[in-house]
Amino acid sequence: MYQILYEELTDTAFGKQTLTGLQLCAMSLPKDEQGFRHVEQDVRLAIHGLRVQELKRSREKKLSAKSEAKAKHDLHSTINALKSEQQMEMSADVKRN
């Protein structure tokens, strides 16, 4: 697992509820009027495993093109950073062997 994804949350308590799913939110976008983040994906846990449901974009307020472009840029930057980290880990594994 990539440490960069969870290092800020390692000592965070999330409560004691049964996990039925999770939402993948755009952290780089501003919160809406109610204080919630924009949900990119909604992952529901079912008895037979994970089932990913595409969310319909039926929000009252659409994201501006600029915000959406920035979110995509931030997402691509994060993906590239994770790929680089993975390549470095793989190179280190090869050198050890």
- Phi and psi dihedrals of 60, rounded to 5? -65, -40
Residue 30: DSSP 8-state: P
Q: What is the pLDDT of residue 3?
A: 75
Asked whether the predicted pLDDT for residue 38 surpasses 80, the reply is yes
Among candidates 8, 14, 10, 11, which has minimal Cα distance to 27? 8
pLDDT in tens, 41-72: 988 776 544 444 444 444 445 556 667 777 78
pLDDT in tens, 9-18: 777 777 766 6
Residue 14 lies in a domain: no
Residue 64 lies in a domain: yes
Residue 1 lies in a domain: no
Whether the CA torsion 57, 62, 64, 70 is positive or negative: it is: negative
Residue 10 lies in a domain: no
Domain tally for the chain? 1
